[in-house]
Structure 1
Amino acid sequence: MWHGEQLDLDAYLARLGYEGERTPTTETLRALHRAHVLSVRWDNLDSFLYRSVSLDLADVQEKLVRRSRGGYCYEHATLFAAALERLGFDFTAVSGRVQMGAEKILPATHAMLLVGVEGRRWLTDIGFGACPLAPIELVEGEDGNEVTIEGRPFLLRRTEITPGADGWALHHPDGRGGWVVRHNFTENPQYPIDYELGNHFIATSAHSPFNRRPFLQRIRPDRTDQLDGLTWTTTVATTAAGAEPDEKRTVEPHELPELLADTFGVELSPEEAKLVVERVQPQDGRPDQES
């Protein structure tokens, strides 16, 4: 279903720097998840520059593996699903609603995988940007599963996520001693065609924030860098998600190509560099930050 037979597994694992076992075990899942999050960056540049993002596995491999570029959740999930399928894992693709504290019901436009291995079930959220560096186990019960992964706290809990619909909510700290819902999801299986629909909305819709401004994230074990329009933030791993960032600065449009290369590891072509600089300057001279 996810075209794992078409994946160049050796090239993908080399991209991750992964040299471990290729058997469908919890240890393998953990190692692959961490390597993917640290190696394959999150960005919306194709949506922002072209309003077109392909989920064809050949295109995703060419972009994320061979060209060492980043992508957003649908691309990450498509690639990771192909790898898990090729390695013999049992998993279900799902769609989530990104909330980030919002009270209203938002569209289900976030792609994730639920993996069953060795009698336990795990959320592998490798395409959110500031992702957990390990899968998080789905634990039934009122308290859910509160974990701290390399200095980053998360809470995954079963709950009613929309009126009459039970599912799971992934929380991160709100910076005030509590939790805020990052995203929620049901276990309704999703298929490649479902991801195509969500991807089309994110890449092309006037209601999508991801084709209005550049947005990039890069995770390292000790820090996370994020670029939102012209705002660059750096947060250390021990800082609770949702708290004030350790550093926050505004960059000039002409600085973007160098920043993307040096900090985010994204090498733009001369044409793309020029287009990025032009696109972040609306009529009033400020980047379009509407969301």
Structure 2
Amino acid sequence: MWHGDQLDLDAYLSRLGYEGERVPALETLRALQRAHVLSVRWDNLDSFLYRSVSLELADLEEKLIRRGRGGYCYEHVTLYAAALERLGFRFTAVSGRVQLGAEKILPATHAMLLVDLGGRRWLSDVGFGISPLAPIELVDGNEVTIEGRPFLLRRTEITPGADGWALHQPDGHGGWMVRHNFTENPQYPVDYALGNHFIATSGHSPFNRRPFLQRIRADRTDQLDGLIWTTTAADSTEPEPDEQRTVEPHELPKLLSDTFGVELSSQEAELLVERTREGSAQPS
């Protein structure tokens, strides 16, 4: 279903720097998730620059593996699912609703996998940007701290009449807030194609209006939202970042290369500067 038989698995694992066992086991899953999150960036650049994002496996291999670029959740999870399928894992793709303090019902446009291993199920979420560095077991009330970053998973009502799960993160005030929630309703490549089209093209999508990038490291996270660059320590539970800077549009290509590890072609760099300059000139 996810075209794992067509994946250049050696190239993918080389991109991740993964040299471990190629068996469908929990330790393999943990190592793959950590390596993927740390190695493959989160960015919305194709959506912002072109309003077009391909989920064809060959295109994802060229972009995320060979060109060393990043992508957003649908791209990450489509590539990751192909790798897990090739390695023999059993999993279900699902869609979630990102909340982060929002009180209204938002569209289910976040892609994740639920992986089955020996009668236990694990949330493997590699496409959030600031994604967990390890899978989280699907157990109600499961509270874990993964390399300094706390998470809480709860079984709850997602929308009226629909039960599911909510992944929480610290709210900065000693409590928890919902990062995203999801049901266990299976999703397929065609479902992700629909959500991907909305994110890339809709005027209601936040991810085609301004550049947005995230790079997670073991000790910190860098994020670029428009022209605001923030850095936050991994173990921070404060609502504000540790550092925040405003950059100019012409500084973006070098920032992306030096800090986010995203190399653009000269044409992409020029278009990024132009589009961001145009966007920043619009009245707020």
TM-score, normalised relative to structure 1: 0.96
Q: 1:189 to 1:262 in 2, by over 3 A?
A: same
1:119-158 Cα distance to aligned partner (Å, 9 max, x none): 2110001000000000011003xxx111100000011111
Question: CA separation of 1:167/1:284 partners in 2, compared to 1, >3 Å: closer, same or farther?
Answer: closer
2:264 to 268, 271, 276: 268
Matches within 5 A, 1:248-287: 248-282=244-278, 285=281
Q: Percent identity?
A: 81
Q: Distance in 2 between matches of 1:176 and 1:188?
A: 33
The DSSP-based 3-state class of the residue aligned with 1:123 is strand
Q: Offset of 1:244 from its aligned partner?
A: 1.1
Give unpaired runs (5+ residues) of structure 2.
none
Question: Does 1:244 pair with 2:240?
Answer: yes
Deviation sequence 1:194-248 (CA, Å, 0-9, x none): 00000000000010010000000001100100000000000011102x6211001
Q: What is the match of residue 139 of structure 1?
A: 139
Q: Please, which of 143, 146, 149 is the counterpart of residue 149 of structure 1?
A: 146
Quote the Cα distance in structure 1 between the aligned partners of 2:77 and 2:280.
37
Match of 2:18 in 1: 18
Q: Is the 8 A contact 2:166 2:181 kept in 1?
A: yes
Could you list the runs of 5+ residues in structure 1 that have no partner in the other structure? none
Distance in 2 (alpha carbons) for counterparts of 1:8 and 1:272 = 26
What secondary structure, in the 3-state scheme, does the structure 1 residue paired with 2:281 have? coil
Aligned to 2:210: 213
C-alpha separation in 1, matches of 2:173 and 2:145: 17
For the residues of structure 2 that align with 1:111 and 1:118, how far apart are their CA atoms?
23
Residue in 1 that maps onto 2:176:
179
CA distance in 2, matches of 1:88, 1:277: 43
CA contact (8 A) 2:132 2:146 kept: yes
State the one-letter code of the partner of 2:231: T
Aligned residues: 284
Query: CA-atom RMSD, angstroms?
Result: 1.2
1:284 & 1:7 partners in 2: Cα distance?
A: 40
Please give the alpha-carbon distance, in whole angstroms, between the structure 2 residues aligned to 1:160 and 1:72: 27
**CA-to-aligned-CA distance 1:33-60 (integer Å, 9 cap, x gap):** 0000000000000000000000000101
State how 1:110-129 maps to structure 2 within 5 Å.
110-129=110-129
Opposite residue 246 of structure 1, the aligned amino acid is D
Provide, for residues 231-286 of structure 1, a one-character-per-residue CA deviation record: whole Å limited to 9, x for no partner: 0000011102x621100110011100100000001111111111111111237636
Q: Is contact 2:64-2:70 (8 Å) kept?
A: yes
Answer yes or no: is the 8 Å Cα contact 1:214–1:229 preserved in 2. Answer: yes
**Matched residues in 1 for 2:98 and 2:75: separation?**
17
Equivalent of residue 194 in structure 1, options 168, 191, 197 = 191
Query: Contact conserved, 1:26 with 1:118, CA < 8 A, in 2?
Result: no
CA distance in 1, matches of 2:215, 2:263: 14
The 8 Å contact of residues 97 and 110 in structure 1, kept in 2 or not, is answered as yes
* CA–CA distance in structure 2, aligned partners of residues 283 and 165 of structure 1: 39
